[in-house]
Amino acid sequence: MPFIAYGEAPDFEPKAFCCLMLNGKWKLHHFYNGKWERVNTGLPDDATECSPTAEWRGDKWRLSFIAGGFGDDRRYYLYRIDDLDNPIAEKVCLADVGFIWKNQIVYATRGGELSISGIQGTKNFHFNDVEWLYRVSYNPDNPHELLISGQKKGGYIFSWIFNPSKKYLYDLSDNGDVAYKAALFNGKCYYAKRGNGGFEDRHIVMAQNLRISELSYDDIVGNSQEANSPSILKMLQNFTNATFRWASAGFKIADDETLAKRQAICDTCQYWKASARLGMGKCLKCGCTSLKLKFDTEKCPVGKW
């Protein structure tokens, strides 16, 4: 599904991004000099790349996208590229849908809650009756609006505009068709219209008769705030700092005995949340996962090891 964002002032020249099939895999592309060019993400050839979003930030295009399904780890992750002219893809978190906009990270696994993480912390949203989320992006005409497509229990496909701060939810359809995986730009709506074949037989169209219908926010949306937990932005920063210290010390790994001692201490610590981050565990003090325990250079933030 294409994503179009406004570019640099004063003319705000828009730029489009999409995924195109190359050798049987979806790959990230951007529209440049009148044609689609592949974004060289540096991920392996057998990686699937999809769901691009982008923003112009100061002097460069920044992208985020979902990729995975390669190597030994078949899961999908949210990635970011901070400079399209020098595209280095960095893994952000486990996610089947999501994007980054300014200092906000929005992400969810396919059947999980939607998390919005920013400077203030993380809010989690669940949507009653929703089974799967297929695409989450933002509306460049109003970046506080999220565009969410998914499937309800029972198979009904939906496409919504969701504004978590103003608490409204709208359904998007075009002449009775669900505006699936909608992208909004400059007052227009593009979506993946189903053809005569199977569910995946879709082509991009511009909505001719877009209908935006209000839904009952309170009946559909529930949310919770993660207390006492660093936001994912802080976690990213902590983890990057830990990685830097580790790299500076020559990538030294803690020996098995040290690792076992550290893990045993964390296991009985009030700040350790074993179920977090899909079973990797997380320290609620520093936000790091059990991976940090392996870095020889690291220390417990409260001095327990």
- Least separation, in Å, of the C-beta of 294 and ligand SF4? 13
**Binding to ligand SF4 by residue 241, rule CB under 6 A?**
no
CA distance 281 to 112: 17
Residue with tokens 């929703």: 130
Q: Quick one: which segment of 43-51, 85-93, 250-258, 294-302 binds ligand SF4 (CB under 6 A)?
A: 294-302
Q: What is the CA radius of gyration of the chain?
A: 21
**Binding to ligand SF4 by residue 285, rule CB under 6 A?**
yes
Beta carbons within 8 Å of 127's beta carbon, 6+ residues apart: 114, 148, 150, 220, 221, 222
31, 39 in Cβ contact below 8 A? no
Give the count of residues interacting with ligand SF4 (CB under 6 A).
11
Q: Quick one: which segment of 9-17, 37-45, 104-112, 269-277 binds ligand SF4 (CB under 6 A)?
A: 269-277
**Binding to ligand SF4 by residue 265, rule CB under 6 A?**
yes
**Binding to ligand SF4 by residue 205, rule CB under 6 A?**
no
**Binding to ligand SF4 by residue 170, rule CB under 6 A?**
no
- Least separation, in Å, of the C-beta of 75 and ligand SF4? 24
CA distance 130 to 102: 28
Nearer Cβ to ligand SF4 (194/299): 299
- Least separation, in Å, of the C-beta of 299 and ligand SF4? 8
**Binding to ligand SF4 by residue 259, rule CB under 6 A?**
no
The helix, strand and coil proportions of the chain, stated in percent and rounded to the nearest 5, come to 15, 50, 35
Provide the 10 A C-beta neighbour count for residue 262: 20
Residue with tokens 């179009």: 4
Nearer Cβ to ligand SF4 (84/276): 276
Q: Quick one: which segment of 63-71, 176-184, 225-233, 261-269 binds ligand SF4 (CB under 6 A)?
A: 261-269
Nearer Cβ to ligand SF4 (204/253): 253
259, 305 in Cβ contact below 8 A? no
Instruction: Write down how long the chain is.
Output: 305
Nearer Cβ to ligand SF4 (202/261): 261
260, 254 in Cβ contact below 8 A? no
Among 172, 239, 266, 287, binds ligand SF4 (CB under 6 A): 266
Among 215, 220, 269, 276, binds ligand SF4 (CB under 6 A): 269
**Binding to ligand SF4 by residue 304, rule CB under 6 A?**
yes
Residue with tokens 């790994």: 253
**Binding to ligand SF4 by residue 276, rule CB under 6 A?**
no
222, 272 in Cβ contact below 8 A? no
Provide the 10 A C-beta neighbour count for residue 83: 13
What amino acid occupies position 133?
L
**Binding to ligand SF4 by residue 271, rule CB under 6 A?**
yes
CA distance 214 to 171: 6
Which residue, 102, 85, 67, is CA-closest to 15? Answer: 85
Among 283, 287, 290, 295, binds ligand SF4 (CB under 6 A): 283
Among 215, 259, 276, 300, binds ligand SF4 (CB under 6 A): 300
Give bridge partners of residue 94 from the DSSP assignment: 77
- Residues interacting with ligand SF4, by CB under 6 A? 265-266, 269, 271-272, 283, 285, 300-302, 304
